[in-house]
Structure 1
């Protein structure tokens, strides 16, 4: 029996306002979460090089390198979940944040308890993804067209053995398509599978996520060989899958 105490959930708060960092860290500590702070991109990189984090809370409106740039950088290097904070309520900001790889967003001003609920939801979803892949033999791949997806390493590989990085949402979306080939999938199902939540859902977000995945797969939507749009219904993955 393993009596080793479980390590607390460790978060990194990236915000240029020291009062916000301190307030969030103090509040999250009451829920058993240990939070470090970073004021911008440089200090974020230093912290991430020194410690492992379970989740990053990232402010969109940072001076210098903004949150979208840093979120894209995090997603290219790691699978650490990201929740974005934004003072802007416009739909475009939310969509762009999701498109570059954020797992969720919270609009300022927000209730602290809502942020905690979002953290728990994103962490549950992230850990469920790990458990889902765990029974898969090491190096297990599925093939479709000229592509291979290693479901254990979560790597998309092209015919020249080049690894194409995927965000968490892109990986879940591609896996959903692979698991349901040649079947029309409506937007609600894709949102539930790829985003894993039903809060603040809007169709445009899944359309942009599909567009992002198409770019990674080099799939021209005007002459798609992989993901075909079914007008008024959703999308269909039209290629055969070999597991």
Structure 2
């Protein structure tokens, strides 16, 4: 069964459209589609290559995520056809760890090759990275000029790709889930000022009384862990009795009020 789902910011012109070809219904419907939606993509899921071609007749997609091991036409053959027809991004998924499949995928025109079981965070980061390379030269030049004009002299943490990625001072990319994105938008907009737990919880849910405060602590823990995995120290600090602050310039911090959680 095929399924078309749109991510939470699909009305934005920066939403990247992804078609996922995977015959494993559980993996497709319960892991890949909801996982990619949570990382800001508009997602269409299909079971067979025929379904994929039919959708492409009436819809445009930026990236195709293809399983290699499919009944009938395999994913590598599909990748060859897509590459002949378009310059869309192509990501291959496979449970087969043979080196030959990796080579055949790249020769067929795939941009990225990931092994199953795929980490949805790694897949989302790969898609965001690929999406940035797929921008048209004119759009890319325009955005780069605007970025150059607005970037301060020192490197800094910043939100990119319609705020679905956190870029580090060393230009590493951290893919964000929907809740992580909402929290960082609020924290970074505060420009170093403390944001209360109540404010953060209110932006993460519709009913603050139904929200378990431990979920906020886990969100902060995940963000710090993701930064550590990129060999970065996230400047997200705990403000005693208040909430959290995202402080890039430590001169803005009040050392008497702030304690950094380990």
TM-score (norm 1): 0.51
The answer to whether residue 85 in structure 2 is matched with residue 77 in structure 1 is yes
Q: Matched residues in 1 for 2:109 and 2:58: separation? A: 23
Query: Which structure has the greater CA radius of gyration?
Result: 2
The answer to whether residue 84 in structure 2 is matched with residue 114 in structure 1 is no
Counterpart residue number, 1:15: 22
Q: Aligned pair in 2 of structure 1 residues 45, 130: CA closer, same or farther (>3 Å)?
A: farther
- How far the C-alpha of 1:112 sits from its partner, in A, is 1.0
Q: Aligned pair in 2 of structure 1 residues 78, 20: CA closer, same or farther (>3 Å)?
A: same
Q: Matched residues in 2 for 1:43 and 1:102: separation? A: 20
Give per-residue Cα distances to partners, 1:53-76, cap 9 Å, x unaligned: 110000000010001111001011
Unaligned runs of 5+ in 1: 135-243
Does structure 1 conserve the Cα–Cα contact (< 8 Å) formed by 2:16 and 2:131?
Answer: no
| SS in structure 2 of the partner of residue 127 of structure 1 | coil
| SS in structure 2 of the partner of residue 79 of structure 1 | coil
**Residue 27 of structure 1 is aligned with which of 28, 35, 38?**
35
| SS in structure 2 of the partner of residue 56 of structure 1 | strand
Q: Aligned pair in 2 of structure 1 residues 47, 17: CA closer, same or farther (>3 Å)?
A: same
Counterpart residue number, 1:37: 45
Q: Aligned pair in 2 of structure 1 residues 88, 48: CA closer, same or farther (>3 Å)?
A: same
Unaligned runs of 5+ in 2: 1-10, 143-262
Q: Matched residues in 2 for 1:132 and 1:97: separation? A: 27
* CA RMSD of superposed structures (Å): 2.4
| SS in structure 2 of the partner of residue 36 of structure 1 | strand
Counterpart residue number, 2:60: 52
Aligned length: 133
Q: Matched residues in 2 for 1:21 and 1:129: separation? A: 33
- How far the C-alpha of 1:8 sits from its partner, in A, is 2.1
Q: Matched residues in 1 for 2:96 and 2:43: separation? A: 24
The residue correspondences of 1:1-243 to structure 2 (distance < 5 A) are: 5-6=12-13, 8-22=15-29, 23-127=31-135, 131=139
Give per-residue Cα distances to partners, 1:202-234, cap 9 Å, x unaligned: xxxxxxxxxxxxxxxxxxxxxxxxxxxxxxxxx
